[in-house]
Amino acid sequence: MENQELIELKSDSDLLLTKATEVAQIETVEHESRAVEFLAQTKRRFKLVDTKFKEYTKPLKDSINAMKADFDPIKDSLNEAERIVKQGMKTFRDSEDFKQKERERIETEELSKQVVREIAKGEITDDSLEMYKESVEMVSEATKEAPKTVTTESGQARYRKDWKFEIETPIEVPTAYCSPDPKLIKEAVKNGVRNIQGVRIWEETIPIIMS
């Protein structure tokens, strides 16, 4: 897309960028006036470039939006199907029945480990081998009822336990669990507050260029 129009726009912007450092050296009101004029011209150039960009990209943007209108509903259906099934899996795993089976699996796994540790301490006998065999079978049966992972022909599901929380009574939450709210501080400073413990507040001049 390197046509003559773009080449001229780029050359003009590079020239302004090169000159910016010089214009930024302001020591007098006259220098400041030059800076204002420079920024006004820069702002006009930006608007021109932005307009040209929109002209160049409008056909492509229209084409993409048309394709999105076709594809987005399909993606939405797939995402909703995934959400529904994941919620069902979550409900199943969080049920008391499954949690009980999961506890039983964990208990049998620990029991099997204990058996292995006991065998390792002493002499291996037919009885100890039978105990080990029984513990392995118990773990196998418990795992079938509450597996850690579920593997199918096309994929695998693994599960992670996450603790969730909801603030029910904010005023009762200990201050140790509270943090400064930038939005509240910004609003306070905007309304004239100039002294907040633990917060540095300062005034800054921001030039606003009209063109």
| Domain ranges for the chain | 1-94, 106-156
pLDDT for res 189: 94
Write the CB contacts of 92 (distance below 8 Å, at least 6 apart in sequence).
98
Q: In the predicted model, what is the mean pLDDT of the chain?
A: 91
Determine the Cα–Cα distance for residues 211 and 74; give it in Å rounded to an integer: 46
pLDDT bin (cut points 50, 70, 90) of residue 127 is confident
pLDDT bin (cut points 50, 70, 90) of residue 133 is confident
Mean pLDDT of 58-65: 95
pLDDT bin (cut points 50, 70, 90) of residue 106 is very high
Residue 116, Cβ density class (10 Å: 0-12 exposed, 13-18 middle, ≥19 buried): middle
- Cα 181 to its chain centre, rounded Å, is 20
Angle between helices 126-145 and 96-121 (to 10 degrees): 160
pLDDT over 90 (residue 39): yes
Read off φ and ψ for residue 209, nearest 5 degrees: -100, 125
Mean pLDDT of 2-18: 90
pTM for this entry: 0.66
pLDDT bin (cut points 50, 70, 90) of residue 2 is low
